[in-house]
């Protein structure tokens, strides 16, 4: 169109070089030519070149299904995971250079500490190995969490939260926890238990917490069996473990024939075995049996553990499983402490008994001495009386004989 001696061109359609699908490659055709014909007392053809100036107008887009997993078996770090640029694309043509980063959030389920991304290549790496039994993962992240990836191309930016799944390996034994807990994370680990019962008691042994159970930190399986040993062994059959509690089927007095005369201690050792045959640490219950018919209390402890359980009990006695770890004292130290206490108590009792015995003997000796003195005095008096009587008798007899003799001589003289 000729306007004021000037040709003006009108673009009748817009030009869009961008692609509708982020997976489609750009043609990179940034210019094109158009022939213009004009009739000014003759036809004139003119080729005009049009240059297209691209505009960055679209945000990066995420497409595809990206599953991120971490497994306990991954020990070599860093470990290549994914090429993120296969999932983050740009509709603009030419495509802008996309910069990828990991965005850390304040959420407890954020797994950004375990990954890094190479911003130039877009490669995602796992940089930190993990153990699912670590309370940081088990209690904070759980079996799945998320990873936030930020994609930026110039002024445009998007963020996507990708699911991260932790793949656990069944490599941990069961742990004893409070029976009210559904996980080993929260107030679950329990220390060795102590209970006090009467010599004639039958029924549930009262403990704090009132019941316990074993959980497998690696799975939700409840296929756990229990093994129990009792010391002294003669009480093995009277104690059972059912529904998380210890129960006395018979009283200690019945099994001992009412022969105990002093307070004594019964030890119960419990182990849990999972479906893979892995055994928990030994769990200990101490039952203090009160024999009310005596005033002299002593503590009896006899070691009757199997060699396997002894090694496990002396190595560590815990909970497993947890952030709250409070659980455990060595049985060796408990035994030594119990033995020392019993020894000290026995020494004190022996001293008291000896002192009492010496006092009684002295008193008996004094009584016997007084008795002998009085007896000797009585015998002396009796002997003196008999002696005087015999002397008097002899004197009288002598006098009579002398009198008879005198009478005899007198009669002869006459």
Task: Report the CATH number that the domain containing residue 179 is assigned in CATH.
Answer: 2.60.40.60
pLDDT of residue 203: 95
Both tokens of residue 402? 């002398």
Q: How many CA atoms lie within 13 A of 395 on its CB side?
A: 6
**How far is CA 348 from its chain centroid?**
38
Which position has the token pair 């699908």? 21
Q: Which of 167, 190, 211 is the last residue of a domain?
A: 167
Domain shared by 193 and 313, yes or no:
yes
Based on the structure, what is the number of domains in the chain? 4
pLDDT digits (tens, 9 = 90+) for 333-390: 443 343 444 444 444 554 565 667 667 777 767 767 666 656 565 554 444 444 444 5
Characterise 5 by phi-psi region: left (phi > 0), alpha (psi -120 to 50), beta (else).
Answer: left
389 within domain boundaries: yes
Domain shared by 182 and 319, yes or no:
yes
371 within domain boundaries: yes
Task: Give yes or no for a contact between 88 and 151, defined as CB atoms under 8 angstroms apart.
Answer: yes
Domain shared by 253 and 300, yes or no:
yes
pLDDT of residue 3: 65
Q: Which of 15, 30, 51 is the last residue of a domain?
A: 51
pLDDT of residue 319: 34
Q: Which of 167, 196, 227 is the last residue of a domain?
A: 167
**Burial label, 147 (beta-carbon count in 10 A; 0-12, 13-18, 19+):** buried
Task: Give yes or no for a contact between 272 and 176, defined as CB atoms under 8 angstroms apart.
Answer: yes
Domain shared by 67 and 46, yes or no:
no
**Global pTM?**
0.51
pLDDT of residue 370: 60
Structural domain range at position 374: 350-414
345 within domain boundaries: no
Task: Give yes or no for a contact between 296 and 290, defined as CB atoms under 8 angstroms apart.
Answer: no
Domain shared by 46 and 75, yes or no:
no
Task: Give yes or no for a contact between 153 and 97, defined as CB atoms under 8 angstroms apart.
Answer: yes
pLDDT of residue 346: 47
> If we measure between CA atoms, which residue out of 358, 216, 192 comes closest to residue 274?
216
Domain shared by 234 and 297, yes or no:
yes
C-alpha torsion sign, points 393, 398, 403, 407:
positive
Domain shared by 179 and 325, yes or no:
yes
Domain shared by 198 and 145, yes or no:
no
pLDDT digits (tens, 9 = 90+) for 21-39: 887 888 777 777 878 777 7
187 within domain boundaries: yes
Which position has the token pair 């740009």? 90
335 within domain boundaries: no
């Amino acid at each position: 169109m000729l306007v004021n001696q000037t040709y003006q061109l009108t673009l009748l359609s817009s030009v869009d070089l961008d692609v509708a699908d982020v997976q489609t490659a750009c043609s990179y055709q940034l210019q094109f030519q158009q022939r213009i014909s004009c009739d000014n007392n003759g036809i004139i053809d003119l080729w005009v070149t049009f240059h297209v100036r691209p505009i960055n107008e679209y945000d990066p887009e995420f497409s595809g299904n990206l599953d991120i997993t971490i497994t306990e078996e991954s020990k070599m770090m860093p470990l290549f995971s994914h090429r993120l640029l296969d999932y983050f694309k740009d509709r603009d043509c030419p495509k802008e250079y996309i910069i990828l980063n990991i965005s850390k959030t304040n959420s407890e389920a954020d797994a950004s500490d375990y990954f890094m991304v190479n911003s130039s290549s877009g490669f995602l790496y796992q940089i930190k190995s993990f153990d699912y039994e670590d309370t940081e993962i088990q209690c904070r992240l759980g079996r799945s969490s998320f990873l936030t990836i930020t994609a930026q191309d110039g002024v445009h930016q998007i963020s996507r939260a990708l699911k991260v799944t932790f793949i656990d390996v069944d490599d941990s034994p069961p742990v004893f926890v409070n029976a009210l807990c559904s996980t080993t994370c929260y107030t679950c680990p329990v220390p060795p238990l102590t209970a006090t019962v009467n010599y004639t008691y039958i029924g549930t042994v009262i403990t704090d917490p009132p019941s316990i159970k074993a959980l497998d930190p690696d799975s939700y399986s409840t296929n756990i069996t229990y093994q129990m040993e009792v010391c002294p062994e003669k009480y093995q059959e009277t104690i059972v473990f059912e529904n998380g509690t210890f129960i006395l089927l018979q009283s200690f007095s019945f099994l001992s024939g009412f022969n105990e005369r002093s307070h004594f201690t019964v030890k119960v050792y419990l182990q849990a075995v999972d479906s893979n045959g892995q055994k928990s640490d030994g769990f200990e219950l101490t039952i203090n049996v009160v024999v009310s018919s005596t005033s002299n209390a002593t503590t009896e402890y006899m070691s009757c553990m199997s060699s396997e359980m002894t090694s496990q009990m002396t190595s560590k006695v815990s909970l497993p499983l947890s952030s709250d770890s409070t659980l455990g004292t060595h049985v060796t130290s408990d035994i030594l402490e119990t033995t020392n206490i019993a020894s000290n108590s026995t020494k004190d009792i022996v001293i008291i008994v000896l002192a009492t015995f010496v006092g009684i003997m002295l008193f008996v000796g004094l009584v016997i001495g007084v008795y002998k003195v009085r007896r000797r005095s009585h015998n002396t008096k009796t002997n003196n009386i008999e002696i005087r009587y015999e002397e008097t008798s002899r004197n009288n007899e002598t006098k009579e004989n002398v009198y008879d003799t005198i009478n005899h001589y007198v009669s002869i003289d006459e």
